[in-house]
Amino acid sequence: MLLPSFTSIVFLQLAFCSAANWTYTGPDGEQHWSKSYPYCGGIFQSPIDIKPELLRFDPSLRPIEVQNYNLSPNEQLTLGNNGHSVQISLPSTMYISSLPNRYTAAQLHFHWGSASRPAGSEHLVNSKQSAAEMHIVHFNSDRYPNIASAVDKSDGLAVLGVLIDIGEFNPAFDQFLRFINGVKYRDQKVQVPAFNIRALMPARLDEYFRYDGSLTTPPCYPSVLWTLFRNPVTISRKQFLALATSLYSSHAQESTPVPLNSNFRKPQPTDSRVVLVSFKEGRGLQGTLSLTSPLSRKRVIQQLLVGDLADLADEGLYQLLPSGSEKLHAGKKKDFKDQESETLSKWKQKTLKPPSWKKGQSTQSVGKLGLAEDTLSYVSLEQRVSNQLKQPHAENQLGQALRNVVFPKLNLKSYLDCKSDLALPTIRHILSGRPTDEVLELDRLLTKALMNQKKTIKQSVPMTNSGGFSPATLPRKPHNQGYPHPWLLPMEWED
């Protein structure tokens, strides 16, 4: 893995001092992350609660194959405490070989609870939280030279997630836990003999959950292809307590040590996403269906892009979308007619009179079906949108503006990969490039069709908030843009 230049390292150190003092609770806690890191208040965030209604069986998902995970004890690994987690740097010889691109390992780290509350996994499965969770972070080495280049790209990262329960003693975890007292305080590091990383993972790598998500810590870029294994591993209570009670998030010289525990982010909105599963049998999977193929989905997009919109409405747009009108996520209860009227008004405003900073984007963004393969650079997007919002009193619009730009692109890409439902904001974005009269005709017929379905829909359709644009704390000031993020050095990187 290529390392940043000396100049970059100096800058990262300065940026770390000024911008990276985030925590999980308190005045710098996760509810305030979006003030400095606007993507943390954005879309396609992780972790999520993997509930049965989100699951879709995908028979094309192959077993995960990892290469060179059985490291020789003659090698040395760096174990470190970065103030937010305990982390192990991994050699670039390790990689995932079963994904469309080669993803090279960079590091692994953990999230856990506390001695009094041993529930600290970030992902929940059917609302059940495990004691801890391990993340093995990889970057797309086919397209990017290092993790620093990949971190803010929409296809940049792949993370293998392993849930950890308290149970039987696990000898593989003792390979590094026996050295944990050497990294009690923030920024402390020790060299440890390498070991078999595969032994930290479940025996079966063919059963897993798959979805598009984000880093679970600032800057929260939605750049992660998540694979969460179905089966947890176990560690003993003594091993868990070694993890949960031995470390501090403060430096050794600080007079009041701050314990490092409960370092997990709360579940985030699903934002029209679904969770693909590689296994069909099991509790909570009854009734799950294979999603339509990307090829058939592209026909829906083609119809929206160049087809006759009146015919599309007559055929029933919601019939063509995999979620179906009856499965659209429910929002707050509201009178249906009032909601439709409000939605129609907002749709016309957004579609026919887009804000000045969005003009010219629709054709470029959704004018071709090939956009699903395009790579989004989140740093570049943030810089561009920030520059376009330089007018007075506009800084607090950055978070919402980024959501409006990023959501349609990510939703459409994920939709064509069968990992989301096509949300209404994405449809609006596509239609903004169509002739006005056709859009109005589709708008009229869609409204009529929805009203005709009123008798069969028990839940109001959240047209105004579909796609995850829920209210969030918007940043007053964007964080320093000189470099993606100070956690890019080998021992300063965490998901």
* Active site residue ranges: 84
| For helices 294-306 and 424-431, angle between their N-to-C axes, nearest 10 degrees | 50
How many whole angstroms separate alpha carbon 117 and alpha carbon 131?
Answer: 8
Check: CB of residue 351 under 8 Å from CB of residue 395: no
DSSP codes joined into one string, 150-170: HTTBTTSEEEEEEEEEE-S--
CA distances from 465 to 8, 46, 129, 220, 468 (A): 40, 19, 28, 21, 6
Residue with tokens 């069969």: 456
Strands, DSSP E only, in 68-220? 76-81, 86-89, 95-96, 103-112, 124-125, 128-129, 132-140, 157-166, 189-193, 208-213
How many whole angstroms separate alpha carbon 89 and alpha carbon 492?
Answer: 10
User: Which of 188, 262, 220 lies closest to 491 in space, CA to CA?
Assistant: 188
Q: Is the bond preceding residue 486 a cis peptide, omega within 30 degrees?
A: no
Strand 103-112 vs strand 86-89: parallel, antiparallel, or unpaired?
Answer: antiparallel
227, containing H or E segment: strand 224-229
